[in-house]
Amino acid sequence: MKCSQCNTDDTKVIESRDVADGESVRRRRACVACGYRFTTYERVERPQLVVVKNDGTRQLFNRQKLLAGLYRACEKTSVASLQLEQLVQSIEHELYACADSEVRSGRIGEMVMDRLSALDEVAYVRFASVYRRFTDIASFEKELSHIRERKTHESSTSELSSVKD
């Protein structure tokens, strides 16, 4: 590994640590020549995943783009960045597990919405408004009614299970 300061090839690993549930390794390094310290990350290189957009265009899956959209949806909410990282990681795992080299953008959007609804309702509605392209109040209200129905169903299910115990 080359030093980013002096471009020397002679660097040594000071510390290694698993991160992202063992999906990557974080290494602290030091340059033998100039003493500069820096961090590198090592991940398994996976095959390229192509996202097929609604208009038929194709582009490479970009984890950072998905994460940026989630950060925008979760602004001023209680959702932590670690939760968003884990959400994106679980989506990536599922996408790579299906062994298809192409995935429709709609599938990714639905995966995000399923997971985001469990994290934070406000973030879910923000993401849904962009993803589903709400054009009027009626479509927004329809999504809110789905949330209310789901909450009612979940609370009645939990009440039934507590009665059985």
The verdict on residue 18 lying in a domain is yes
Are 90 and 132 part of one and the same domain?
A: yes
Are 66 and 25 part of one and the same domain?
A: no
Are 60 and 96 part of one and the same domain?
A: yes
Token readout for 5 is 């300061």
The verdict on residue 145 lying in a domain is no
The amino acid present at 8, given as its one-letter code, is T
Q: What pLDDT does 14 receive?
A: 93
Are 131 and 74 part of one and the same domain?
A: yes
Domain count, the chain: 2
**Which of 79, 78, 88, 116 is closest to 20 using CA atoms?**
88
Sequence-distant (≥ 6) Cβ neighbours of residue 131 within 8 angstroms:
109, 112, 113
Are 78 and 129 part of one and the same domain?
A: yes
Q: What pLDDT does 142 receive?
A: 77
Contacts of residues 130-135 at CB distance under 8 Å and 24 or more positions apart, as own/partner, are 130/69, 130/73
Q: What pLDDT does 126 receive?
A: 84
Range(s) of the domain holding residue 24: 11-43
The verdict on residue 157 lying in a domain is no
**Which of 120, 131, 126, 108 is closest to 72 using CA atoms?**
126
The runs of H, that is alpha helices, within the chain are 63-73, 81-97, 105-119, 121-131, 137-164
**Cα separation, 84 vs 120, whole angstroms:** 11
Are 71 and 120 part of one and the same domain?
A: yes
Q: What pLDDT does 103 receive?
A: 92
One digit per residue, pLDDT tens: the chain, 165 residues?
A: 888 899 999 999 999 988 876 778 999 999 999 999 999 888 877 778 999 998 999 999 999 999 999 999 999 988 898 899 999 989 988 998 887 889 999 899 889 988 988 888 888 888 887 777 767 777 777 777 777 777 677 666 655 555 555
Are 91 and 113 part of one and the same domain?
A: yes
The verdict on residue 63 lying in a domain is yes
Are 86 and 17 part of one and the same domain?
A: no
